[in-house]
Amino acid sequence: MSKILLLPGDGIGPEVAVEIERVIAVLNRDFGLGAEIEHDLLGGVSIDAHGVPLTDAALAKARASDAVIMGAVGGPKWAKVDYAIRPEQGLLNLRSGLGLYANLRPALCYAALADASTLKREVIEGLDIVIVRELIGGVYFGHPRGIETLPDGQRRGVNTQVYTTSEIVRIARSAFELARQRSGKVCSAEKANVMESGLLWREEVTRLHDAEYPDIALTHMYADNCAMQLVRAPKQFDVIVTDNLFGDILSDAAAMLTGSLGMLPSAALGEPGKPGLYEPIHGSAPDIAGKGVANPCAAILSLAMALRLQLGRADLADKVEAAVGKALDDGYRTADLIGEGEVKRVGTTGMGEAIAERLA
């Protein structure tokens, strides 16, 4: 019996979380998954209920579960609250509280969706890359940070980009290990041309490579060039390893190559045996929240990643991924997915049901 903690969160989060539950129900019923679902609050809904975006109790529940799956956090309602208790801070506290330093963000182009990308079909068809983003260090967590008022009345905002050897080495190791299961290629992205932390990053990645992963083809790229190369010729990449902030930006760009943010899952992992956090890459999408039109695929594929990477059920992950692919092949499209010819326009529930039927 595995315990899954579901944190639906804000905006479209609760809507897509319902579809995760629908799929888990099928896996329990037809495939003996034996997963028990618990719920808790994260983000704005937690602020409304408890005054903080993640309670100690919710974090404790996360630690005691086998895997945590979330929907999304944030929204205009909480845009003015203090940084320390913003919805997003709940997610950052969850990531750091669980020690989730390695964020795997695949960008995979489904054949049925190659025309949904703003890029030409030949540029993205068959794309299959993974961004390995460092998740609990860098400028997101560095000190000093804050906004202060100077003696002359101006205000000054400060954040600090900081990385240590061990933080760089452990994320580089995750990338090299992943590359060994794939095509054996890693591109490391930083700004060693202007940042000391980037230079250290490059040196430590190179050192680990030379010492332990000489079989991997390692290249280095400045992060701005990497952004450009991602839209110019994304298929040159396999695994990209990068820091927290660059990873945030590059993974949005990579995701959109595939046609829609609504398709892509992610996994945040810490030490082996500890619960990971699985989440769709998309945000809370306040503009469409509550309308029943959000694409649940990224959320359902996040469940698949949890099955594969955490719950020891790669067989069921394959089945869930195949069911999503089949629903797309059969023409089911949520509003974010452009379709040619005869497509079946569906909302969140319709897509979830189409996937669940194909899985059953």
Of 66 and 248, nearer to ligand IPM (C-beta) is 248
Residue (125 or 252) nearer to ligand IPM, CB: 252
Instruction: Select 248 or 336, whichever has its Cβ closest to Mg ion.
Output: 248
Q: Taking a C-beta distance cutoff of 8 angstroms, is the pair 28, 34 a contact? A: yes
Give CA–CA dist 68/298, Å, rounded. 15
Q: Does 248 bind Mg ion (CB under 5 A)?
A: yes
Q: What are phi and psi of 21, to 5 degrees?
A: -65, -35
Q: Where are the alpha helices (DSSP H) in the chain?
A: 13-31, 44-50, 56-63, 87-97, 121-124, 165-181, 196-212, 223-232, 244-257, 297-309, 314-329, 348-359
Check residue 279 for interaction with Mg ion (CB under 5 A). no
State the minimum distance, in angstroms, from the CB of residue 140 to ligand IPM. 7
Q: Which tokens is 59 given?
A: 């974090």
Question: How many residues line the site for ligand IPM (CB under 6 A)?
Answer: 5
Closer by beta carbon to ligand IPM, 265 or else 352:
265
Residues 6 or more apart whose CB falls under 8 angstroms from that of 225 comprise: none
Give residues 127-186 in contact with Mg ion (rule: CB under 5 A): none
- Whether 140 is catalytic: yes
Query: Which 3-state string (H, E, C) describes 78-111?
Result: HCCCCHHHCHHHHHHHHHHHCCCCEEEEEEECCH
Is 248 among the residues known to form the active site? yes
- The question of whether 252 is a catalytic residue gets the answer yes
**Would you count residue 253 as binding ligand IPM (CB under 6 A)?**
no
Task: Please pick, from the candidates 40, 167, 204, 248, the single residue that binds ligand IPM as defined by CB under 6 A.
Answer: 248
191 as an active site residue: the answer is yes
Token pair 């560095």: residue: 142
Partner whose footprint covers residue 316, from Mg ion, ligand IPM, none (CB < 5 to 8 Å by kind): none
Instruction: Using DSSP bridges, classify how beta strands 185-190 and 217-222 pair: parallel, antiparallel or unpaired.
Output: parallel
From candidates 91, 131, 192, 261, binder to ligand IPM by CB under 6 A: 91
* Residue nearest ligand IPM by beta-carbon distance: 88
Let me know if 238 is a catalytic residue. no
Residue positions annotated with a catalytic role: 140, 191, 224, 248, 252
Contact residues for Mg ion, defined by CB under 5 A: 248
Contact residues for ligand IPM, defined by CB under 6 A: 73-74, 88, 91, 248
